[in-house]
Chain A
Amino acid sequence: MKVHIKYFASIREAIGLSAETVETDEPTLAALRDALIARGGAYSISLTHGRALRMALNQVMSVESALLTEGAEVAFFPPVTGG
Chain B
Amino acid sequence: MPRVCIQTVDFDLANEVAHLRDGDGRVGAVCSFVGTVRDRTAGTAGSISSMELEHYPGMTEASIEAMIDEAQRRFDIFGARVVHRVGLLQPMDQIVLVAVTSAHRGESFQACEFLMDYLKTQAPFWKKEQTPDGARWVDARVSDDLAMAKWGLDAPNLPVSG
Chain A residues packing against B (C-beta within 8 Å): 6, 8-10, 52, 54, 56, 59-61, 75, 77-83
Contact = CB atoms under 8 A, between A and B. Distances in A.
A9 B128 contact: yes
B155 interface: yes
Contact of A52 (B55, B62, B84, B140): B140
Q: Which 5 A-B pairs have the closest CB atoms?
A: A82-B125, A79-B140, A9-B126, A59-B59, A83-B120
Interface string B110-131: 0000001001111111111000
B87 interface: no
Contacts of B128: 9
Interface residues of B, number: 31
B119 A83 contact: yes
A53 to B, nearest CB: 8
Nearest to B125: A82
B62 A59 contact: yes
Nearest to B82: A83
Given A52-B158, A54-B157, A80 B124 contact: yes
A6 B120 CA distance: 21
Contacts of A10: 126, 137
